[in-house]
Structure 1
Amino acid sequence: MKRRCYFIWLMGIVILFIIGLCVKMYEDKGKSASQVQVVAIREVEKEFVQYKEIWEGTTFPTLSVRDKEEQTIVFTSELKKPKLYVMWASWCSDCQRELPVIEKIYRTYKDDIDFVLIDLVGFRDETVEKALNYYNDNKFTFPIYFDVDQTVVNSLELKAIPTLYFVNSNNQIEKIFIETVDEDSLNREISKLANS
């Protein structure tokens, strides 16, 4: 009987030890995964900063896109009005949060700034039809265009969406926002652009 009791106690201690070891390994694994995630986020942020350093202050490239009527439209440096270029896709959650804000700003500044919202067709199965459905369902009124052959993505070497380019009347990129921007910052930059 004593042996049996001793054996049960010993097994209990072994089981507790194994459970403790498993918990410790699980915690270490969680820390490692979160540390890897933090490093990955820092690398992406660093890449965004480098992208902005390269592009801000440069001339915005000539872009060829399609409009809703499937006509080719070319945006060149000869267009002397300030422009807000927005690269987006209907499946993008950050785009879905920002587009209603851009719509509101468009209604205020549409006479002072050209708004050029370019949907990235082919990017993660995006189609013109999906983009138009999203646009119409949300009752947006800003003009939209389509990068149907990925020339915009390639010309701008896009890193993420949404990406917003604030381009002055001399066709110089003044500011770039990548992924997310709060409404106050967006309003501030648009106001600066409109008054430049």
Structure 2
Amino acid sequence: MKKLGTQATLICMAIILLILSVRPPSSEPRQPVKPGYPMPSVNLPSLDGKNVALNASQRKPLLIYFWASWCEPCRAETPDLIAFYERHKGDIGVYAVNVTSKDEPDSVRSFVRQYNVRFPVLLDERGEAAEQFRIVSIPTTYWIDAQGIIADRFIGQLTPQKLEEKLRSLRR
């Protein structure tokens, strides 16, 4: 009987230690999402159904653009982003991350057709990428260097001049 009591006590203690050692994700210290720090890694489906991993192993600079189809500044800057992409697609990866948790998939498809967007459009259906990148407003654009380090973040509508300036600074 004493042996059974000892085993039960050990099992209870093991369960308690296990419960205490498991922390919910929200209590884990989060790495800053700002210039000088590695970019968060995210996996998102593309509009055409493929899974795309955005992470520090891209080996070329990235422009990660958070947007929504109902966002007027996003609509206004889309032609400039398309022209930028066409000029520099060999030098920089351009990814448009639609904050689909705040948008409608049909609206996203319509937007992409209307503007003839040719760079990859990723769907953040659960808002996980927006949370990891700490998106508080759209449009928000992140510039990532070839080593996966955040070079800059810009909130608001980008001009063609700002797009070119940011790319030049990434090349230095």
What letter is aligned with 1:73?
A: V
Q: Partners of 2:50 and 2:119 in 1: how far apart?
A: 17
Return the match for 1:118 from 88, 97, 103. 97
Q: Partners of 1:186 and 1:98 in 2: how far apart?
A: 11
Q: What residue in structure 1 maps to residue 62 of structure 2? A: 83
Whether 2:127 is the aligned partner of 1:127: answer no
Identity %: 21
What letter is aligned with 2:95?
A: V
Q: What residue in structure 1 maps to residue 12 of structure 2? A: none
TM-score of the aligned structures, taking structure 1 as reference length: 0.68
Q: What residue in structure 2 maps to residue 190 of structure 1? A: 167
Q: What residue in structure 2 maps to residue 168 of structure 1? A: 145
State the 4+ residue runs in structure 1 displaced beyond 6 angstroms.
none
Whether 2:147 is the aligned partner of 1:142: answer no
Post-superposition shift, 1:163?
0.5
Q: What residue in structure 2 maps to residue 7 of structure 1? A: none
TM-score of the aligned structures, taking structure 2 as reference length: 0.77
Q: Partners of 1:178 and 1:145 in 2: how far apart?
A: 19
Instruction: Name which structure has the greater RCO, CA cutoff 8 Å, separation 6+.
Output: 2
Unpaired segments of 5 or more residues in structure 1?
1-52
Q: Partners of 2:132 and 2:123 in 1: how far apart?
A: 14
User: Which has the larger displacement, 132-141 or 162-171?
Assistant: 132-141
> What does 1:6-17 correspond to in 2, within 5 Å?
none
Whether 2:130 is the aligned partner of 1:153: answer yes
Whether 2:89 is the aligned partner of 1:106: answer no
Q: Partners of 2:139 and 2:90 in 1: how far apart?
A: 23
What letter is aligned with 2:73?
A: D
Larger Rg: 1
What letter is aligned with 2:117?
A: F
Q: Partners of 2:122 and 2:75 in 1: how far apart?
A: 17
Q: Residue 46 of structure 2 contacts residue 121 of structure 2 at CA under 8 Å; is this kept in 1?
A: yes
